Amino acid sequence: MIHESPVSVSYVGSSRIAPAGGFKSFTTCPLKRDEKNKQTYKEGEKMTQNLMKRSSGILMHPTSLPGKYGMGDLGPQAYKWIDRLAEAKQKHWQILPLGPTGYGDSPYQCFSAFAGNPYLISPELLIEYGLLRKDIEVPAFPKEKVDFGRVIPFKVKILKMAWGAFKAGKGAPLKGAFEEFCKKEAYWLDDYALFMALKEANGGASWLDWNHDLRHRETTAMQKAEVELADEINSNKFSQFLFFKQWMELKQYANNRDITIIGDIPIFISSDSSDLWSYPEGFLVDEDRRPTHIAGVPPDYFSATGQLWGNPLYNWEAQKKDDYAWWKKRLTATLELVDYVRIDHFRGFEAYWKIPAGNTTAENGIWEKGPYNDFFDSLKKDFEELPIIAEDLGVITAEVDALREHCGFPGMKVLQFAFGGGVESRFLPHNYEKNCVVYTGTHDNDTTKGFYAKATDFEKDFMRKYMGISGQDISWDLIRLASMSVADLSVYPLQDILSLGSETRMNLPGALGGNWEWRFTENQIDDFTIVRLRDLTEMYGRG
């Protein structure tokens, strides 16, 4: 059965901010929730304030949900998932970024920092809206992985069918809400919809390879494109409307079950994005608008040659002159979608690894100072609260710790780092402070079972001695260790809850292909697992 949303959705900005004079050049960005939804916000606000009370949750991206349409989506299975979380006394569902994925299907390389991933739109809900036939032919997709090469064309076809049906007068009750959405979200939606239409017209090529006039957004070229691509532009807007409608209704269902959503903001954006195309002055680019330097990290836990991400770097001087208006707009939009947000690569606000464009590894970079306290102090002027988790992994200095402490943000502790590749004492639970979030592993780690299988004899012996265990049930041993720790919040990847091996790993940094594909099947989460997690949660006071 498809759960009905208990409230109507209003497409306006987050009430977590009280802007003083607006966001300068982004004054069209909606800032306040309307009066009729004030109570809804107060309930959500209370939950974010309670997030760092002792509790626990599960990390699982919506693409990993089961279902017959090739990848997880925002339909009935997502509601069932929330029900299972509630049964297990979990208070949080942590996800990866929700943006429209680009290169490598990575949620950390999106075509927009504001848009949603249209491939997450539920076909079953489109049928309910009257925008899709019930008898649509669905290919025999694999159940335990996402075959992006097959799924994406199928999803694109479905969305075009839904747009065609809407133009033909079907789904009429959605018309007013769609018009409201387009008006309220125009500050990012207009650029994004045109950007994606131009990408399609250019065979999917990066905007950096478009002709000069479109690359530089010359007025005549832009006006011509808006006329010639009007239908595709509106189709893109409609897909975004459908995503936001489905996501906000799902989020409301979770909140009503006393479950908060922990979202994720990648500190950097993709070079092939509507953000860089529409706001190049905020980044380090040359006269042709191509990045002069790119992001990454030096050699670390995950890679001996570092990680070459390739993202453009911010022009922090220009961002500061605008009082970080673009970032405030981005954070506002994200906090409308989630209750709490993890900022990926938080240390980049203190200092970031600056690599000259054209390098093939991340080894030849330099540390460059970031905006530090000035950035977050500016945010605090405009935001009533900053429900942020700082991803403070990697090369962490005293300055990074001082920045996080200045902001009061909880940091992250990853148990695998306490035992693998040499003991790091800050990740051992007896050294934790309460204001932190402990994970058995993250989306970038191997599963705990896979990690243990590859560990050295010394590492295995240390884990067994530290926890007083045999190692026969290692995934749940680490879950128990995280749960009993003093950390305010403990989070477990679903793969660890299910005691799965390396074959279900979500991401291997630096690997080309094979990432982000894992899905679970509905029968994998049985009643025994739910009861086991619930008992553990209640035993250690996280329920």
What whole-number distance in Å separates Cα of residue 38 and Cα of residue 342?
25
What amino acid occupies position 207? W
Name the DSSP class of 355. Answer: E
CA 109, CA 309: separation in Å to the nearest integer?
9
Secondary structure class of 517 (helix, strand, coil)? coil
Is 374 labeled as catalytic in the residue annotation?
no
Return the closest-CA partner of residue 97 out of 256, 257, 265.
265
- CB distance 105 to 512 below 8 Å: no
Selected catalytic residue, list 249, 382, 391, 446 = 391
Set 232, 249, 272, 444: catalytic member: 444
What is the rounded distance in angstroms from the CA atom of residue 477 to the CA atom of residue 278? 49
Integer Cα distance of 330 and 338 in angstroms:
13
Amino acid occupying residue 408: G
CA distance 249 to 255: 10
Q: Rounded to an integer, what distance in angstroms lies between the CA atom of residue 203 and that of residue 212?
A: 16
How many C-beta atoms surround the C-beta of residue 93 within 10 A?
25
Nearest Cα neighbor of 518 from 501, 530, 543 is 501
Which amino acid is it at 136?
A: I
58 φ, ψ (degrees, to nearest 5): -125, 140
Pairing of strands 92-94, 307-312: unpaired
Question: Helix 230-256 crosses helix 148-167 at what angle (to 10 degrees)?
Answer: 100
> Which one is catalytic: 264, 323, 344, 477?
344
What is the residue whose two structure tokens read 């997880």? 72
C-alpha–C-alpha distance, residues 60 and 93, integer Å: 7
Cα separation, 449 vs 131, whole angstroms = 43
Quick one: tokens of 366? 């330099």
**Is 473 annotated as catalytic?**
no
Cβ atoms of 416 and 474 within 8 Å: the answer is no
DSSP assigned state of 15: T
CA distances from 16 to 43, 251, 421 (A): 12, 17, 41
Residue 344 bears catalytic tag: yes
Catalytic positions:
344, 391, 444
